Amino acid sequence: MIKAILIFNNHGKPRLSKFYEHYNEDIEQQIIRETFHLVSKRDENVCNFLEGGMLIGGSDYKLIYRHYATLYFVFCVDSSESELGILDLIQVFVETLDKCFENVCELDLIFHVDKVHNILAEMVMGGMVLETNMNEIITQVDAQNKMEKSEVRLTLPVHYFYLSVYQAGQVDTGRYCRSACSCRISCKEHEPPGNAQKHQHW
Amino acid sequence: MALKIVKGSIDRMFDKNLQDLVRGIRNHKEDEAKYISTCIDEIKQELKQDNIAVKANAVCKLTYLQMLGYDVSWAAFNIVEVMSSSKFTYKRIGYLAASQCFHESTDVIMLTTNQIRKDLSSPNQYDTGVALTGLSCFVTPDLARDLANDIMTLMSHTKPYIRKKAVLIMYKVFLKYPESLRPAFPRLKEKLEDPDPGVQSAAVNVICELARRNPKNYLSLAPLFFKLMTSSTNNWVLIKIIKLFGALTPLEPRLGKKLIEPLTNLIHSTSAMSLLYECVNTVIAVLISLSSGMPNHSASIQLCVQKLRILIEDSDQNCEPSVNACMKYLGLLAMSKILKTHPKSVQSHKDLILQCLDDKDESIRLRALDLLYGMVSKKNLMEIVKKLMLHVDKAEGTTYRDELLTKIIDICSQSNYQYITNFEWYISILVELTRLEGTRHGHLIASQMLDVAIRVKAIRVFAVAQMATLLDNAHLLTGNVQRKGICEVLYAAAWICGEFSEHLDNPTQTLEAMLRPKVATLPGHIQAVYVQNAAKLFATILKSQEGNTDSTAAQETSQLMIDRLPLFVQSANLEVQERASCILQLVKYIQKLQQKDVEIAEEVIALFAGELNPVAPKAQKKVPVPEGLDLDAWINEPPSESESEDEQPRAIFAKEEPKHSRPRHTEVDEKELAKRREARKQEQANNPFYIKSSPSSQKVYQEAPGVEHIPVVQIDLSVPLKVPVFCPTGLPMSDQYVKLEEERRQKDKAEKKKKEKKKRKEKRSGRGKRHDSGPESEEDITPAHMVDIVTEEMPENALPSDDDDKDPNDPHKALDIDLDKPLADSEKLPVRSHRAAEVLKSPAQDGDAESAVSQETKKKSSKEKREKKKDKDRDRKKSKEDKKKKKKKHKSEEKGEDLLGGQEDGPVGQSEETSEVAAQPTSTTAEVSDLDFWLSNAPVPSNTQEAATVAAAEAAPVSELASGTAPDSEPDEPKDTETEETKSSKHKKKKQKKEKEEKEKKKKKKHHHHHHHSDGGGEESVQNGTVEEEEPLPPMSNYCLLAENSYIKMMMEDADQVNDIQGNLQDGSQVVVSVIFENKCDSFLKSMEFNVLDSLNSKLQRPEGSGPHDGLTVPFQLPPGVSNEARFVFTMQSIIMPQKLKGTLTFIVKNEDSSTHEKLDFKLHFTCTSYLITTPCYSDAFAKLLESGDLKCSSVKLEGVVMPFHHLLARICFRHHFSVVERIDSCASMYSRSIQDHHVCLLVKTSGQTVSIDAKCDEPTLLGNVLDEIKQTFSQC
């Protein structure tokens, strides 16, 4: 069983937290902090397994993590999971994110934590691994997003879209703009075809 | 309209969405909290709006804030609202939020049941998917119970996407609602062979997770998993299966033999490292399980260890360093598995493990530490610990250092200090550990000090000296604020110095050290020990000084106490204060006596006389409760509830006792009291656990030969005890011990050699050289002292066992369920009941006249019934029991019945049917023996004999089946003798039992047949054209497991009804429940009391005069292995809804020497079916009843029913107490009557696999529930 899945950055800022067992918010934060503390002080070329997170689990539980650029992906699992298997699973998760977000970077996770949750939900359910096949995961995620879009298109008037792009463009860089608009409305109809390719998953 | 939409969206434009929120938080780095609080206010506003889009947006933001650590439980209701939106977009947001912040104590969760059910049956697969995903995170026992059936149906959904999610979530359902495991398991097993790999993987996942906790229940699935393992290509599935096999092999060594080959194939063929590693791991598990019986496998273990060594040592230049590190870690992990069973093979790699201790990776160091634990021996303990001590000094992080510390203590203290040869060394190690800064484990060191000092008598002199120094230098320990944890050591030091004060060199100095003002800064519990032990010291000092002619020294000591103690009297800690003031007064009194030159030392020392013996950790629990003592019984009658409420606040002070209890005390006269006191003393004298007050003064135990149950230590002073305590060279003290020890060992060795030489010279004639100067064996090292470790005390007859180590709260304990047993009727999953009302269509015809027909039937039936009842009950029960036992025997028995029943359709059809039905039970129940058979094919020659016997054993019942028509000839089975030869495996026992049952049945058979024959009319539902006799019915049982523990098993018969005498209906109706109690343990069970918590609707009938909460005494006692049946009558008000009652059975388990009170909780389910009585009805009466028009109708459709129509009818008759009125081809009318005289009529039609049931009843709710129950019965098959 997987007890928790955490993503945080090099400074310990949580980017996603999914606990498959209930803790109250304070303890969750404490677990994130402690896990960050344990993981961050480890060298790059030591092993990816860690024992002895006191707050979560106990002797039966392990932290299995991977470090990608600015992000740590940490899975807290019990002894029924294969250590190397979970490492592979993290890889699948990250590759899936990469496919869905097109060159995923930390900003994607910052602004679209709900989508990361949705992707994760197709991989892990209630602490058990649901699907490990990346294509299958992406198919399901896409189908759901398509459904969502068809619903949104029904309710959102066009000028709302322009307005939001305008707002987003004022506040942030172009990159943020993309992330801001891409989730609200299908980009295919309103953006140049070059960009549309990029956003097809959202 | 359009305007409205535009307006709404313009409103929304000014709302922040999630991205805006995130951006805002990023832009307000310096006042983040303030910004978020304004955002939360906005969200609260948004949630108040009616627009669901706005609400969903708000909930989405809340989910983000929840991740940042903000409590959002206040919005739980809004989340439910968003969840129930019809739009997928919002639904998904709602479910996500719910999965992040709902938990068992969220109260709105119970509002979600219907919404989730709706979503589960939604035509849109993603609605269902999202609901399943959400539910998997917040499922509660209630949700699990209510939705188990819906989820189970989803397991056969057409879309694999839903199937796999439904399969996976079943695990969560099982955890929360263990009763669902058995009914759902067959389907789960089916899913192992689902065409979709995702579904298959999910099923493997769930079963592996289940099997990990209770592997023995899943052994019978081994062949199936084996098939999967050899056919599947999904690495994830393979890993899971291989891991599962690793857990199963210890239970069944033959399985291991079968596994070796495919596993080695996988190892050679796979490219996935993860799969490879798991294969190796399981191979190791297999080898371990095999080699425990056979020594020749230890070579392969050696090989494995060698390979692992390569994994640990070798770093592949082509890989990333982190991958190498991972392999190193996993290699060590695998090695620790071998270590548990084959310590010798791992011990030779000590060098490698010690090397790993220097690894820069903490995870690897911790693994190595773990391994070290198993590698120590008498010879290398000192060396290893020395190395660890070096690491302790070097370690920078406190966690790792603490880990080291606990490991050192673990290693040294393991198996009762087995490896310690020199306890002086150990004490000095402990003292050295106290120098650690900021450790959390002060108490651990302290308890070790105490343990060693108490249990190793020889060490006390040394320990006391060391502890005195510690006390003297207490400021070193307490000086630093960071050292809070370590001052616990002073607790031990003070206690040891006080308790064994006679060994102190300079007690006065220690006393002074203990009474320093600085002590007052220590934690309260340590101060208390200080004060108490100062008093002990004082007593010792008095004793030594009293002999002197000069009494001033003694008086000075008293003065010191009187001067210093007031400091403690002022302590804020109650314990300290109380002890101090007591002792202060005592010393003052002593001082007074001293001034009068009275000798008082003896008396003072008597205060602290007596030896303290270590008591085993579980000793208290093992003390048997004396016979006749009922710990649960009230000593005084409990005050009534209203009273107790008033009194509770006052009850804090025990002085205010309830007045009525006072006079009782005074009634006891002095003589009686004296008598009791005497008796108590007598008892205490015989009780080893009572600390005696006899003044035998065991403090000076050298002179006390009286108590000889404590082994007295002989001190062999081959080593000088004196070692300079603080050595100027800076070498830690323990190192000096290591040196001394080495010297001693060498000396010993030299001496031994000398002796041996002598011996050899003497023995020259015989064998040449037996004692080679080979490697030094364990036995060669003689301990420095003859150390007698005082063993821990346990009550007599109590065996130290691990059975009570299991966590009673472990949710997996409830899932330890035998899955091979056929499913009982009442185990079916609860089906929703309130939905039926919607389906209902009232014909709305006013037919006020109760039809004469029904009146007639009623009268008739009630009369008949009373006559029949006894017969029927007995009959039915027997047939049920028989049916239960049928299993394999089924076929031949049915044949017999047919012959006697003589109502044949035609020989062809009949035989077809019989074989069809017979096939079903054999396939399910023969599984166990299947496993045996499967395993016996293992191609290992050593096993063939066993396999042959197994096969022979299996052949026996088959041949018996063949000769089954001759019931009286009981063939002498060779099996009984055979099974004795074969290893007593679990399955065989089962088989034996089965056979025994068969024998019994044969004896009964004649009788049974006779019954069938003679009272064909009396048999249930045989009034007119009911189920034809020739039809072989699948085995059906109405007995279901009610509750079970290690002592007793309760089986309940599906509530059996009695219609009370007519005219008594206003008092409600009665339902009789038969419960079989079966004693499963070896003890006598008595004083059983059966109690049920009454609900508004249903009450347990109790004898007159007893209160509403009293239990009913079960009218029998149960000797071991015996079962008996008791009946309980319940009164029902309304019968239109199913009921569930909670109950308890209390009983006393009586052994030869003890008796304990036990309790078993159970739940009684009354289904609506159980309120129905099988009542025959004539077809013309039936027609009139239907025509009368006062019945409301409802219908239900069952899909995918594959059984023949007459089976279907038989099942409805049997399970739901109907009788067949008329049957024409694939259409039948059925009738039943409730105990409150509701008529229930069914019209059952079948076409293909669809069965439609149209029903009529005068009570729509009852009808709905009955139909649901019928549906449930068929959804299970």
Per-residue pLDDT at B404 exceeds 90: no
8 A C-beta contact, residue B137 and residue A121: no
Highest mean pLDDT, choosing among A15-29, B624-638, B824-838, B1191-1205? A15-29
Nearest to B368 by CA among A47, A44, A2: A47
How many Cβ atoms are within 10 Å of B182's Cβ, its own excluded? 20
Chain-chain contact of A113 with B161 (C-beta, under 8 angstroms): no
Mean pLDDT of B550-567: 85
The pLDDT score that the predictor gives to residue B59 is 92
CA distance B93 to chain A (A): 8
**Residue count (chain B):** 1277
Say how far apart CA B997 and CA B1109 lie, in whole Å: 40
Mean pLDDT of B673-686: 65
Phi, psi of B1181 (to 5 degrees): -65, -40
Write the pLDDT tens digit of every residue in B216-241: 888 888 888 998 888 888 888 899 99
Nearest to B1029 by CA among B894, B1138, B1149: B894
The pLDDT score that the predictor gives to residue B136 is 93
Mean pLDDT of chain A: 77
H or E stretch including B20? helix B18-27
The pLDDT score that the predictor gives to residue B1194 is 82
**Tokens, residue B897:** 């019945």
- When pLDDT is cut at 50, 70 and 90, the band that residue B832 belongs to is low
Q: Count interface pairs A-B at CB distance under 8 A.
A: 182
The pLDDT score that the predictor gives to residue A139 is 93
Nearest to B376 by CA among B346, B352, B406, B337: B346
Q: Which residue has the higher pLDDT, B513 or B439?
A: B513
Provide, rounded to the nearest whole percent, the portion of chain B with pLDDT above 90.
11
- When pLDDT is cut at 50, 70 and 90, the band that residue B976 belongs to is very low
Chain A touched by B820 (CB under 8 Å): no
3-class state of residue B714 by DSSP? coil
**Tokens, residue B472:** 């003297």
Provide the 8-state DSSP code for B29: S
- When pLDDT is cut at 50, 70 and 90, the band that residue B702 belongs to is very low
∠ CA B325-B331-B336 to the nearest 5 degrees? 130
Nearest to B83 by CA among B65, B101, B64, B67: B101
Q: Which residue has the higher pLDDT, B1066 or B743?
A: B743
Select from B89, B196, B234 the residue whose CB has the most chain A CBs within 10 Å, as the one to mutate to test that interface. B89
Measured between beta carbons, the chain A residues lying within 8 angstroms of B64 are 113-114
The pLDDT score that the predictor gives to residue B580 is 92
Write the pLDDT tens digit of every residue in B1133-1151: 777 788 788 888 888 888 7
* Token pair 């979600």: residue: B112
Q: What are the residues whose beta carbons fall under 8 Å from the beta carbon of A58, sequence distance 6 or more?
A: none
Per-residue pLDDT at B1063 exceeds 50: no
* Token pair 């005494």: residue: B1113
Looking at chain B, which residue has its C-alpha nearest residue A113?
B64
Say how far apart CA B977 and CA B980 lie, in whole Å: 5
Per-residue pLDDT at B721 exceeds 50: no
The pLDDT score that the predictor gives to residue B246 is 87
Say how far apart CA A201 and CA A138 lie, in whole Å: 9
| Domain assignment of residue A175, yes or no | no
How many Cβ atoms are within 10 Å of B945's Cβ, its own excluded? 11
Nearest to B773 by CA among B757, B788, B784: B757
Measured between beta carbons, the chain A residues lying within 8 angstroms of B126 are 143-144, 147
3-class state of residue B916 by DSSP? helix
Mean pLDDT of B1067-1077: 71
Nearest to B1214 by CA among B963, B1039, B953: B1039
Provide, rounded to the nearest whole percent, the portion of chain B with pLDDT above 70.
65
Count of domains for chain A: 1
Highest mean pLDDT, choosing among B495-504, B750-759, B940-949, B1112-1121? B495-504
Max CA-CA distance within chain A?
A: 57
Per-residue pLDDT at A43 exceeds 90: no
Mean pLDDT of B997-1009: 46
8 A C-beta contact, residue B125 and residue B165: no
**How far, CA to CA in Å, does B534 sit from each of B417, B540, B608?**
30, 10, 12
Q: Which residue has the higher pLDDT, B162 or B1026?
A: B162
Per-residue pLDDT at B283 exceeds 80: yes
Per-residue pLDDT at B95 exceeds 90: yes
- When pLDDT is cut at 50, 70 and 90, the band that residue A36 belongs to is very high
The pLDDT score that the predictor gives to residue A89 is 93
A45 lies in which domain range? Answer: 2-148
**Tokens, residue A164:** 């939001």
8 A C-beta contact, residue A132 and residue A92: yes
Beta pairing partners, A74: A6, A65
Chain-chain contact of B206 with A128 (C-beta, under 8 angstroms): yes
CA terminus-to-terminus distance, chain B? 53
Per-residue pLDDT at B178 exceeds 50: yes
Backbone conformation region of residue B1121, classed left if phi is above 0, alpha if psi is from -120 to 50, else beta:
left
Mark A71-93 as b/e (b = at least 16 C-beta within 10 Å). bbbbbbbbebbbbbbbbbbbebb
**How far, CA to CA in Å, does B1042 sit from each of B294, B878, B1051?**
44, 19, 5
This complex has an ipTM of 0.81
Measured between beta carbons, the chain A residues lying within 8 angstroms of B103 are 22
Chain A touched by B1111 (CB under 8 Å): no
Provide the 8-state DSSP code for A5: E
The pLDDT score that the predictor gives to residue B797 is 60
The amino acid occupying position B152 is: M
Mean pLDDT of B1102-1107: 72
- When pLDDT is cut at 50, 70 and 90, the band that residue B683 belongs to is low
CATH of the domain at A74: 3.30.450.60
| Domain assignment of residue A127, yes or no | yes
Chain A touched by B235 (CB under 8 Å): yes
- When pLDDT is cut at 50, 70 and 90, the band that residue B60 belongs to is very high
Mean pLDDT of A160-182: 39
Highest mean pLDDT, choosing among B150-164, B929-943, B1058-1072, B1074-1088? B150-164
Looking at chain A, which residue has its C-alpha nearest residue B65?
A25
* Token pair 């072989």: residue: B1032
Residue in B23, B67, B130 nearest the CB of A113: B67
- When pLDDT is cut at 50, 70 and 90, the band that residue B844 belongs to is very low
8 A C-beta contact, residue B243 and residue B224: no
The pLDDT score that the predictor gives to residue B310 is 78
8 A C-beta contact, residue B1274 and residue B821: no
The pLDDT score that the predictor gives to residue B687 is 56
Alpha-carbon dihedral sign for residues B424, B425, B426, B429 = positive
Pairing assessment for the beta strands A62-68 and A71-77 based on DSSP bridges: antiparallel
| Domain assignment of residue A184, yes or no | no
Say how far apart CA A126 and CA A138 lie, in whole Å: 19
Chain-chain contact of A128 with B330 (C-beta, under 8 angstroms): no
Quickly list DSSP for B436-473: -SS-S-HHHHHHHHHHHHHHBGGGHHHHHHHHHHHHHT
Per-residue pLDDT at B851 exceeds 50: no
**Tokens, residue B795:** 């009550």
Quickly list DSSP for A24-62: -HHHHHHHHHHHHHHHHTS-TTS-SEEE--SSSS-TT-E
Provide the 8-state DSSP code for B85: -
**Tokens, residue B404:** 């080291």
The pLDDT score that the predictor gives to residue B930 is 62
| Domain assignment of residue A109, yes or no | yes
The pLDDT score that the predictor gives to residue B681 is 64
Looking at chain A, which residue has its C-alpha nearest residue B62?
A114
8 A C-beta contact, residue B353 and residue B371: yes
**Tokens, residue B156:** 């056969």
| Domain assignment of residue A157, yes or no | no
Quickly list DSSP for B1175-1203: ----HHHHHHHHHH---EEEEEEE----S
Beta pairing partners, B1071: B1057, B1130
3-class state of residue A91 by DSSP? helix
The amino acid occupying position A194 is: G
How many Cβ atoms are within 10 Å of B206's Cβ, its own excluded? 23
Chain-chain contact of A184 with B361 (C-beta, under 8 angstroms): no
| Domain assignment of residue A169, yes or no | no
Chain-chain contact of A82 with B277 (C-beta, under 8 angstroms): yes
Say how far apart CA B569 and CA B561 lie, in whole Å: 12
Chain-chain contact of B243 with A80 (C-beta, under 8 angstroms): yes
- When pLDDT is cut at 50, 70 and 90, the band that residue B1065 belongs to is very low
Chain-chain contact of B96 with A114 (C-beta, under 8 angstroms): yes
∠ CA A183-B6-A180 to the nearest 5 degrees? 15
Highest mean pLDDT, choosing among B285-294, B707-716, B871-880? B285-294
Instruction: Indicate yes or no: pTM above 0.80.
Output: no
Quickly list DSSP for B851-881: PHHHHHHHHHHHHHHHHHHHHHHHHHHHHHH
Identify the weakest region by mean pLDDT among B96-100, B257-261, B392-396, B894-898: B894-898
Chain-chain contact of B198 with A136 (C-beta, under 8 angstroms): yes
| Domain assignment of residue A90, yes or no | yes
**How far, CA to CA in Å, does B697 sit from each of B607, B609, B610?**
10, 5, 6
3-class state of residue B1015 by DSSP? coil
Per-residue pLDDT at B359 exceeds 70: yes
3-class state of residue B1089 by DSSP? strand
How many Cβ atoms are within 10 Å of B915's Cβ, its own excluded? 11
**Tokens, residue B1072:** 């009789």
Phi, psi of B570 (to 5 degrees): -85, 0
Q: Give the E-state strand segments of A94-179 in sequence order.
A: 124-125, 128-129
Phi, psi of A19 (to 5 degrees): -105, 130
Measured between beta carbons, the chain B residues lying within 8 angstroms of A130 are 164-165, 168, 198, 202
Mean pLDDT of chain B: 72
Write the pLDDT tens digit of every residue in B313-339: 766 666 677 778 888 888 888 888 888
The angle, 0 to 180 degrees and rounded to 10, between the axes of the packed helices B197-213 and B181-191 is 140
Beta pairing partners, A76: A4, A63
Measured between beta carbons, the chain A residues lying within 8 angstroms of B100 are 18
Nearest to B948 by CA among B900, B981, B971: B981
Say how far apart CA B195 and CA B192 lie, in whole Å: 9
Highest mean pLDDT, choosing among B45-49, B161-165, B422-426? B161-165
Q: Which residue has the higher pLDDT, B1194 or B716?
A: B1194
